[in-house]
Structure 1
Amino acid sequence: MHNLGLLFDVDGPLASPVSRTIAIDSIVSDLVTLATAGVPIAFITGRSDAFIRDQVISPLLDNGLADALAGEHSRMFGVFEKGASWAPIGSHGMSEVTVDESVALPEPVAREIRALVASDFSHTMFFDETKRAMISVEQNTDVAHDAYLADQGRFNDAAFAVLVRNGLGVRYGERESPDSAGAVPFRLDPTIISTDIESVQLDKDRGAERALGYFESLGPLPRLWRSVGDSRSDYLMADHLHAAGYEVAHVDVRPTDGILERPYRVIVEGELIHDEAGAAFLSYWVDKLQLR
């Protein structure tokens, strides 16, 4: 077993934030190479299981993942919707998905947000029908980013009002509206291409804990880990690893948003960002472990 484990956010480090697909071929081949070598790999993402199945696992299977995960030491796992659902990934692809219904938003609220998008915002964004627990509204791929950003703030305000009107406690930035019990169990979390409406219990440290628990059930874990992401919240993956006593560094593929101060090393890939930085990171480790 190589002394390396990997936790990846998907949008940014692996999938292009423009095309929402894995656009760099070497990312696919290097992931398969590392999986073949027995490196445990987890995808810790806010994306749905359907997105990961179609946009990540499918191209990996087309490029040899089935053989890569056929070995007894191979380990791959997916945590979706920031920890609301999860599934092992094996030689036949993604196994049955487990959903934590305790963190799901009420269906009437989802229906109202869906209707809001259809009536007022469909020219710049769409309602993600694949989410099982959270609500996500995402930029249309054929819309200029500036046009999306111009609407995103208005959508966020309107969505906040929907949750308040339905009696749900919700936080959005500095704004907070508790429910009748004084609790605030949900939040609006805007990203560069979407707004997620989600339980406050969901985040990348929860996903990292879930993935490590699965990997540990299959055998001893490496001591050296790398987490890779493009958002400040992605540092939480490395936070969990560091607190658990592992040797960890976090790879920030969008450092212009601000590199966070942490007790572990933060790595940037020179001037490269997003999936180009992700591709460089993977290439480095394939070479370092002499897997070519």
Structure 2
Amino acid sequence: MDPMPTNPPFALLLDVDGPIASPVTRDVSPEIIAMFLELSASGIPIVFNTGRSDDFIKHEVMEPMIAAGMPPTLSIHAICEKGATWFTFDSKRAGEVHVDHKLAVPGNFSDGIRQLVTSSFSDCMFFDETKLAMVSVEQNLDTSDTDYRRAQTEFDAAALEEMARLGLGVRRHDIARPDTNGDTNFRIDPTIISTDIESMALGKDLGAKRALGMLAADGIVPDSWFTVGDSRTDYAMADWLAVNGHEVSHVDVRPGDGIPSGKTYPVLTATDLGLAEEVIHDHAGLAFLRHWRGLLGASLS
């Protein structure tokens, strides 16, 4: 029997690093976990749309939610590695992790980057062994932001050369190294704590598409969406939803990089909640979760 359709007033599509997980400690606060449980128990779908691996979501989100008393009737969807992998978890376990192998970086390139990090950059970053499709390196917790930025620039340049040497067309922002066919099928995407090397087909827009399909399979069609992120690439979630006819608002928890112009949907920041501009990252994320829980409570009273 097909699941009974439901129409919650809104759904949440959440980036993880920044809005949910602290970029300093890389973990998720108990207050945010509690908000997830309250909102979910009230019928609000929560879907994670992240560049992180399934392993990270399992340890930093799923296990704390289960430990905090996740109801047995609740299930949560997670789209990881910018749409390359996805899975669902409930109060007992994680379901099968699906991997789109067509969007994976070739294994021989992964080996080269692992060796590059070990030999030249291990004092500032580490190779993320949990990724199944992307290749990622991440800032060591004990490395200063200044030292990491310097090392990241050098690493990104070396990774670009390694991909070109292997004949893989690659782009990093405005620098392109096409393959012999003139194609650039991969990109180097630096963030504030990591660098991801990935298929050009990956992105938060692909994650949004997968999220919609996963909820539809549950019979859930939200009346509207809130997307939440901390980088300009996270706007792709809201862009895709808006273009495909869904009502959406985007929350930017790190607007200091500049809010893109010309968006057809509302863009919200911590200042819209009456908070100071300095309230960013997971502090802003928690504030919005509390705000939405308050709105939902008012509508139910």
**TM-score computed with the length of structure 1 as normaliser:** 0.95
Question: How many percent identity over aligned positions?
Answer: 48
The match for 2:218 is 218
Contact 1:41 1:75 in 2 (8 A): no
Deviations 1:113-154 (A, max 9, x none): 000000000000000000001100110011111111111100
Contact 2:8 2:221 in 1 (8 A): no
The match for 1:190 is 190
Q: Displacement, 1:91? A: 2.7
Contact 2:8 2:223 in 1 (8 A): no
The match for 1:269 is 270
The match for 1:4 is 10
CA distance in 1 between partners of 2:201 and 2:254 (Å): 25
Task: Tell me: CA distance 1:107–1:220, structure 2 relative to 1, closer, same or farther (3 Å).
Answer: closer
Q: Displacement, 1:42? A: 0.6
Contact 1:2 1:37 in 2 (8 A): no
Contact 1:38 1:75 in 2 (8 A): no
Q: Displacement, 1:75? A: 4.8
The match for 2:146 is 146
Deviations 1:12-40 (A, max 9, x none): 000000000013x2211010011111211
Secondary structure class of the residue paired with 1:289: helix
**TM-score computed with the length of structure 2 as normaliser:** 0.92
Q: Within 5 Å, which residues of 2 pair with 1:52-201?
A: 52-65=57-70, 67=71, 70-71=72-73, 74-201=74-201
Q: Displacement, 1:178? A: 1.2
The match for 1:209 is 209
**Residue identity opposite 2:34 in structure 1:** S
CA distance in 2 between partners of 1:114 and 1:221 (Å): 42
CA RMSD of aligned residues (A): 1.3
Deviations 1:64-87 (A, max 9, x none): 22x1xx33xx45210000001001
Deviates more, 1:177-186 or 1:152-161: 177-186
Secondary structure class of the residue paired with 1:136: strand
Contact 2:75 2:91 in 1 (8 A): no
For structure 2, the 5+ residue unaligned runs are 1-6, 272-276
Counterpart of 2:52 (choices 47, 53, 56) is: 47
Deviations 1:135-191 (A, max 9, x none): 001100111111111111000000000000000000112111111222110010000
**Residue identity opposite 1:288 in structure 2:** L
Contact 2:228 2:252 in 1 (8 A): yes
CA distance in 2 between partners of 1:175 and 1:14 (Å): 31
The match for 1:282 is 289
The match for 2:274 is none
Contact 2:51 2:82 in 1 (8 A): yes
CA distance in 2 between partners of 1:82 and 1:169 (Å): 19
For structure 1, the 5+ residue unaligned runs are none
The match for 1:30 is 35
CA distance in 1 between partners of 2:69 and 2:97 (Å): 22
